[in-house]
């Protein structure tokens, strides 16, 4: 293995010369030649073997947020930051976290015969295909959903497909009520917390969420440990906090949950309502869900609700449903819900340009995991540490950035984006000047590069990937473009498949990772990168070092690739002469969003006036085209131009926030109220149309119009 890893390290370096020569013209630089030399020096440093060592260390033990093992990973990361020469601190927050004490789920048929009792521990046969060396660690917590309340409920079961709003509406059309019932839904299509959010609105008293083999199990391919897909007892853990209402510590929306924060500044735990479920929710494997589904009577489910288990799915109610074929489930969840300490690790490289050093470039990845978290998130942490390794070598060679670089290793992301949100809320004032936030989370699940970004940074990401060699040959950009039409693997966040400029497609930012507080609360332009593959063990015991080295990146060559891409993002934004924001593309996309919303309103027979909003969008687009020309031939001192470029993004915030969820302030992008991860564009307007609520939609059109005119005026005045 050592020899193979050494070869994997050397081969990309051979390709590096090809990727670096000749120096291209890069947006934001008057002359890119010097930066190209710096990039080449940086890219020679990230080491696959070292990335593998980081990953092995970080995933040696389960490290749920606030655990002693989680703190040990914070110390490890802090030590690597310090060794690279970063000004490093471990920052504490005191936040509300849910830890399972007892979880008991039983199912019975109409005669009282017990169908299942669980949850069944996650386990694969140790004698087949190498087994799994990590599955029996006594520190593994029972599979649970963070933010679920305790509960002891018994009720009849109704199957509700993926638990989307459309699914619950379909049940209602079929005359099936979930009031007083326990709803069984499968993972997929929307954020798990939204399944509970909708279920409780429809009157359910409990939710069970299972992983169907159609989505990430044997229907997709061989199960672990033979293949990469979820085995029979594999369970997807995850938070059911209502992220689209607000992320972060549930007791402190909008303010930092520092250890010395008085209780008077917190929402009391017994008063939490907005973003915490009121009904118990727990995940199941398909091993445990199958007996329930198989015994359900009632009508056959709609055929597109059928999963891959080998029997016909029924709804459990309606039609031929009788007392004789009902299934009853008893859920007893005992959760320890308390304020606990978490640890962010913050490393800083101070900028040297007096006029720009406070314009921070922030980059980050979370470190906590539901269990081992080899792919999610520590493949990203390992890559980030090699990025820091490369930056440290440049510092030793005398390089210093113009703008201050801040690297964050966030904690408790899995519980609700908590570590990043609390830090961003604590530093809100200076982050108003931050020029970018770069995120990686699932750094490497396989070989297929993917990215999401605000439109102003899409071209920036493309240009960075044109410099980095791919282990497949050519550049990351070349392979990314070639892979665009390949089937998308199961992934935590849904990406957009649209491209308005004919280039490689880059997704929109919804939620589900740590860019959320930066772009959607504070208006910091953001990107998110990862490398995907057939990843079927998400949030389970089996997302561990053994799975990773068998199926994701055996030689850690893609860890090296991601370290290089992440590092070049940081370097370019820290030292660019002119901020490389593309408002021309941004304007084009916003006009498209409004035109699509106008068509949607027409189909719903809503009489909305789009005149002012479309005029503002076209004004913004024209200003974006004009400023692009100024950026290409900038003044000798671009300080005022850069300030205007940055302020134009912040002007797109609505200080009043979105209806029902004012923490989200961005008028162009937000996670959907009923999607959770996936982005809704011009969310105030589109959600008003979807409601349908004409007065609300018209009011949000006015707020959007004002934001676009504010931003356009800033760009028009820039010189």
Bridge partners, residue 439, by sequence: 364, 528
> How many CB atoms sit inside 10 A of residue 429's CB?
8
Q: Which DSSP string corresponds to 571-614?
A: HHHHH-SS----HHHHHHHHHHHHHHHHHHHHHTT-----HHHH
Secondary structure E strands in 200-327: 206-210, 238-239, 281-284
The reply to whether omega before 418 is within 30° of 0 (cis) is no
Give the contacts of 516 (CB within 8 A, at least 6 positions apart): 243, 247, 417, 420, 421, 509, 671
**Among this protein's residues, is 687 annotated catalytic?**
no
Bridge partners, residue 118, by sequence: 105
Question: How many whole angstroms separate alpha carbon 479 and alpha carbon 447?
Answer: 9
Strands 151-159 and 145-146: unpaired
The reply to whether omega before 22 is within 30° of 0 (cis) is yes
- Reported residue count of the chain is 719
Instruction: Give the H or E element holding residue 70.
Output: helix 68-83
Considering the candidates 413, 414, 425, 559, report the single residue annotated as catalytic: 413
Secondary structure E strands in 370-464: 405-410, 436-444, 448-453
Q: Which residue has the tokens 């978490």?
A: 342
Could you tell me how many helices (H) and strands (E) the chain has, helices first? Answer: 21, 16
Local structure of residue 270 (DSSP, 8 states): G
Give the contacts of 611 (CB within 8 A, at least 6 positions apart): none
Give the contacts of 66 (CB within 8 A, at least 6 positions apart): 97, 340, 341, 342, 411, 412
Provide the H-helix boundaries in 512-582. Answer: 516, 545-547, 557-575
Just list the catalytic residues: 413
């Amino acid at each position: 293995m050592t020899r193979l890893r050494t070869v994997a390290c050397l081969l990309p370096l051979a390709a590096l010369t090809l990727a670096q020569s000749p120096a291209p013209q890069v947006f934001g630089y008057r002359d890119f030649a010097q930066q190209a030399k710096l990039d080449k020096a940086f890219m020679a440093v990230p080491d696959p073997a070292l990335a593998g060592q980081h990953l092995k260390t970080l995933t040696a033990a389960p490290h749920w947020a606030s655990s002693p093992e989680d703190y040990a990973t914070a110390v490890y990361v802090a030590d690597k930051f310090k060794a690279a020469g970063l000004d490093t601190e471990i920052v504490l927050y005191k936040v509300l976290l849910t830890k399972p004490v007892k979880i008991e789920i039983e199912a019975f048929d109409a005669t009282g015969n017990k169908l299942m009792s669980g949850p069944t521990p996650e386990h694969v046969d140790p004698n087949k295909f190498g087994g799994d060396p990590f599955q029996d660690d006594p520190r593994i917590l029972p599979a649970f959903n963070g933010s679920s309340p305790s509960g002891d409920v018994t009720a009849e079961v109704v199957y509700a497909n993926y638990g989307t709003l459309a699914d619950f509406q379909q049940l209602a059309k079929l005359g099936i009520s979930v009031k007083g019932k326990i709803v069984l839904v499968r993972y997929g299509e929307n954020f798990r917390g939204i399944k509970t959010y909708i279920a409780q609105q429809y009157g359910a008293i409990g939710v069970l969420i299972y992983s169907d083999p159609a989505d990430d199990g044997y229907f997709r391919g061989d199960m672990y440990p033979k293949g990469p897909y979820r085995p029979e007892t594999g369970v997807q853990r995850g938070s059911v906090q209502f992220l689209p209402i607000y992320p972060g510590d549930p007791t402190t929306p909008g303010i930092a949950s520092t250890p010395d924060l008085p209780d008077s500044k917190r929402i009391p735990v017994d008063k939490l309502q907005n973003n915490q479920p009121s009904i118990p929710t727990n995940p199941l494997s398909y091993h445990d869900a199958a007996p329930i589904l198989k015994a359900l009577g009632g009508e056959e489910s709609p055929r597109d609700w059928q999963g891959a288990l080998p029997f016909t799915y029924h709804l459990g109610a309606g039609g031929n449903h009788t007392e004789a074929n009902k299934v009853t489930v008893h859920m007893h969840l005992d959760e320890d819900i308390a304020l606990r300490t978490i640890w962010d690790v913050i490393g800083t490289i101070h900028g040297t340009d007096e006029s720009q050093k406070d314009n921070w470039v922030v980059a980050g990845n979370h470190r906590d995991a539901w269990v081992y978290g080899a792919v999610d998130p520590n493949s990203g942490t390992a890559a980030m540490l090699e990025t820091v390794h490369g930056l440290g070598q440049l510092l030793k060679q005398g390089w210093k950035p113009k703008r201050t670089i801040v690297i964050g290793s966030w904690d408790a992301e899995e519980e609700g984006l908590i570590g990043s949100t609390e830090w961003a809320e604590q530093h809100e004032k200076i982050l108003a000047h931050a020029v970018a936030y770069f995120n990686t989370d699932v750094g490497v699940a396989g070989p297929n590069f993917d990215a999401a970004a605000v439109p102003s940074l899409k071209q920036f990401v493309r240009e960075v990937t044109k410099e980095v060699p791919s282990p497949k040959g050519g550049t990351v950009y070349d392979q990314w473009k070639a892979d665009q039409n390949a089937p998308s693997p199961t992934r935590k966040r849904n990406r957009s498949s649209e491209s308005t400029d004919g280039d490689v497609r880059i997704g929109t930012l919804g939620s589900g990772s740590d860019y959320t507080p930066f772009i959607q609360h504070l208006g910091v332009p953001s990107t998110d990168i990862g490398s995907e593959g057939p990843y079927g063990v998400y949030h389970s015991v089996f997302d561990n070092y053994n799975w990773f080295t068998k199926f994701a990146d055996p030689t850690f060559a893609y860890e090296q690739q991601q370290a290089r891409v992440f590092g070049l993002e940081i370097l370019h934004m820290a030292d660019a002469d002119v901020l490389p924001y593309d408002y021309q593309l941004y304007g084009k996309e916003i006009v498209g969003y409004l035109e699509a919303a106008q068509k949607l309103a027409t189909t719903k027979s809503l009489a909305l006036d789009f005149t002012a909003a479309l005029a503002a969008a076209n004004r913004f687009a024209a200003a974006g085209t004009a400023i692009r020309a100024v950026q290409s031939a900038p003044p000798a001192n671009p300080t005022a131009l850069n300030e205007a470029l940055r302020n134009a993004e912040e002007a797109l915030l609505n200080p009043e926030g979105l209806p029902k969820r004012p923490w989200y302030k961005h008028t162009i992008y937000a996670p959907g109220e009923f999607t959770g991860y996936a982005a809704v564009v011009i969310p105030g307007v589109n959600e008003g149309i979807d409601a349908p609520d004409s007065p609300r939609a018209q009011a949000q059109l006015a707020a959007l119009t004002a934001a676009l005119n504010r931003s356009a005026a800033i760009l028009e005045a820039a010189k």
